[in-house]
Amino acid sequence: MDELVERGVRITRQRRVLISVIQNSPTHLDATALLAIAKQQDSGINLATVYRTLALLKNCGLIDELDLMHLEGEKHYYEAKTSSDHCHLACFGCGAIMEYASPLFEKLKRKIAADSGFRIRVARLELGGLCKQCAKTTA
């Protein structure tokens, strides 16, 4: 939040609510789900504002955008960015989404940057497949 103030971004009532919802959400939210939760605190919030705020936060590097293998439709999901990136494992069998962080992932990013001279601002590693449970079931 202070991040935004420093950048001269105006803190509106709607933005305050949306940011809080995203930061406290235990799950990955799509725009509609985010709106539904935000409305509980500020019933007037509009879907267009949700999208505008998501774009703002994404540009500021405060949230990450995910596909989660489009397990249920073409929408995107969002989560607050944390210090170390984690990757997402999406199970085609049961639809579960798991997270996985590893120093090896950080190392890979550093190596890519070093090898290519690319300055990484966003890193997204998403895997699709079968979770332990489902892999067992499917033989």
Partner DNA sequence: TTTTACTTGCGAATGATTCTCAACTGGGAA
Partner DNA sequence: TTCCCAGTTGAGAATCATTCGCAAGTAAAA
Interface residues with Zn ion (CB under 5 A)? 91, 93-94, 96, 131, 134
Judged by beta carbon, residue 45 or residue 79, the one nearer Mn ion is: 79
What is the CB-side half-sphere exposure of residue 42 using CA atoms within 13 A? 18
Least distance to Zn ion from the beta carbon of 137, Å? 8
Of the two residues 10 and 114, which places its CB atom closer to a second copy in the complex? Answer: 114
In the block, tokens 């405060």 appear at 62
Assess 115 for contact with a second copy (CB under 8 A): yes
d(CA 99, CA 106): 15
Q: Read off φ and ψ for residue 36, nearest 5 degrees.
A: -55, -45
List of residues contacting Mn ion (CB under 5 A): 67, 79, 99
